Amino acid sequence: MLISSEECQLIFLDVQEGALAAVHEGGSLLARAQLLARLARELHVPLFCTEQYPSLWGHMPQALQALAPKPLTKMVFSACEEGLIEMLRPPAKNGPPQGNARSLPKHLQKKETPAPEKNQIVLLGLEAHVGVLQTALDLLDDEFEVYVVVDATLSRRQSDKDAALDRLASAGAELVTTEMVVYEWLRSAEHGGFEDVHTWLKALD
């Protein structure tokens, strides 16, 4: 199944200065996160971010803070245990009241409008075998479709990343790259944002 910008939400998990400094290719991860954040903004893909124990690992780099919303602070490794699922699936909203809403008969009262379903989750961050793994497994348990961006997901040790990706794939997560996400969101070279995105991707090489 292709990733759809209309059905997708993007998560940056614990992309923090201290954690980036501790991994090989942290700069590459940050550049890919910035690209996806810029494109998500253009395509109206919701973006959520987390920070793990920021007094120890620091905050998101300033370059990413300018593109991202305020992060969810957490101590538990899986962001789902800190309220992430409720953010991804907001409750239904009541429509505007018609007259004195309380006095209307039930059949005339405005019914709740369910939030649009955005069940595809694109996930990247640190570390692959801890926060990313645990969050992704919890999302899968909650029946989200999970896509892990492998070239923007790292661990300090390659063996930990490899084991995490093997386990995620076995559990049903899709392993994708930044370019896969970008071109599946755009779908066509005729998309208005294609030339800018093509330039951004060339800068990653």
Structure confidence by residue, pLDDT tens digits, 41-59: 999 999 999 999 999 999 9
Taking a C-beta distance cutoff of 8 angstroms, is the pair 120, 147 a contact? yes
Distances (CA, A) of 158 to 45, 85, 128, 194: 30, 29, 10, 33
pLDDT at 91: 78
Which residues 6+ apart lie within 8 Å of 138 measured at CB?
Answer: 78, 80, 81, 85
pLDDT at 116: 60
For 75, the enclosing helix (H) or strand (E) is none
pLDDT at 204: 86
Q: What are the residue ranges in the chain where pLDDT is below 70?
A: 92-116
Q: Where are the chain's structural domains?
A: 8-90+115-204
Distances (CA, A) of 69 to 10, 22, 50, 190, 202: 12, 24, 10, 29, 26
Q: For the chain, what is the total number of helices (H) and then of strands (E)?
A: 9, 6
What order do you get walking across the sheet with 47-52 strand by strand? 72-74, 47-52, 8-13, 120-126, 145-154, 174-176
How many other C-beta atoms can be found within 10 angstroms of the C-beta atom of residue 131?
A: 22
pLDDT at 109: 59
The whole-model pTM stands at 0.88
Instruction: Select the CATH number that applies to the domain covering 8-90+115-204 from these four: 3.40.50.10860, 3.10.110.10, 3.40.50.850, 2.60.15.10.
Output: 3.40.50.850
pLDDT at 162: 98
- Tokens representing 13 are 């998990």
Q: Which letter, b or e, does each residue of 38-74 get, where b requires 16 or more Cβ atoms within 10 Å of its Cβ?
A: ebbebeebebbbbbbebeebebbbeebeebbeebbeb
CA distance 74 to 81: 9
pLDDT at 186: 97
| DSSP code at position 72 | E
Which residues 6+ apart lie within 8 Å of 23 measured at CB?
Answer: 29, 126, 127, 154, 155, 156
